[in-house]
Amino acid sequence: MEKILIIDDDKDLCFVLKRFLSKHGFEVLEATTGKIALEILESVEPDLILCDFRLEDMSGSSILKKIKEKNPSVPVIIITGYSNIKTAVEVMKLGAMDYVTKPLLPDEILLTIRKALANKTSDEKVGVGSNESANAEESESVKEQEKLALINAKRNTESGNYIFGDSPDFKNILNQIDLVGPTNYSIIIYGESGSGKEVIAQEIHKRSKRNHKPFIAIDCGTLSRELAGSELFGHEKGSFTGAIGQKIGSFELANGGTIFLDEIANLPYDVQVQLLRVTQERKMRRVGGTKDIDLDVRIIVASNRRLWDAARSGQFREDLYHRFNEFQINVPPLRERVNDIMVFANHFLVQTNKELGKNVKRFSPEVEDVFKKYVWHGNLRELKNVVKRATLLSDSSVIDIKSIPFELVNYKKLQFDNTAEAAAVAAPRETTVTATQPPVREAGLKSVSIDAEYEWILETLKKVDFNKSKAAKLLKIDRKTLYNKIKQYKDLNNQEL
Q: Which helix (H) or strand (E) holds 347?
A: helix 338-356
The H helix count followed by the E strand count for the chain is 21, 14
Domain over 335-409 is classified CATH 3.40.50.300: no
Say how many C-beta atoms besides its own lie within 10 A of residue 209's C-beta.
11
Percent of the chain with pLDDT over 70: 77
Residue 188 has pLDDT above 90, yes or no: yes
The predicted pLDDT at position 126 comes to 53
| Contact call for residues 459 and 420 (beta carbons, < 8 A) | no
Question: Is residue 391 within 8 Å of 349, Cβ to Cβ?
Answer: yes
**Do the domains spanning 177-330 and 335-409 agree at the CATH topology level?**
no
Residue 226 CA to residue 398 CA, distance in Å, equals: 51
Q: Which CATH number fits domain 3-124+141-159: 3.40.190.10, 3.40.50.2300, 3.40.50.620, 3.40.50.1820?
A: 3.40.50.2300
Residues 96-121: tens digit of each pLDDT: 888 777 667 777 788 888 888 877 66
pLDDT in tens, 190-232: 998 888 899 899 999 999 999 889 999 988 887 777 778 888 8
**In CATH terms, is domain 177-330 a member of 3.40.50.300?**
yes
Strand, helix or coil for residue 345:
helix
* Cβ-contact 77, 58 below 8 angstroms: no
Query: Apex CA 232: angle with CA 51 and CA 295, to 5°?
Result: 140
Over the stretch 50-87, which tens digit does the pLDDT of each residue have? Answer: 988 878 788 777 888 888 888 888 999 888 765 454 56
Residue type at 419 in one-letter notation: T
Contacts 24+ apart (CB under 8 A), 56-60: 56/9, 57/33, 58/34, 60/91
- Could you tell me the pTM of the whole model? 0.53
pLDDT band at 180 (very low <50, low <70, confident <90, very high): very high
DSSP 439-465: ------HHHHHHHHHHHHHHHHHHHTT
> What secondary structure letter does DSSP report for 4?
E
As a whole number of Å, the end-to-end CA separation of the chain is: 67
Element (H, E) at 280: helix 269-281
Peptide bond into 439 cis (omega under 30): no
For the chain, domain boundaries = 3-124+141-159, 177-330, 335-409, 411-433+440-493
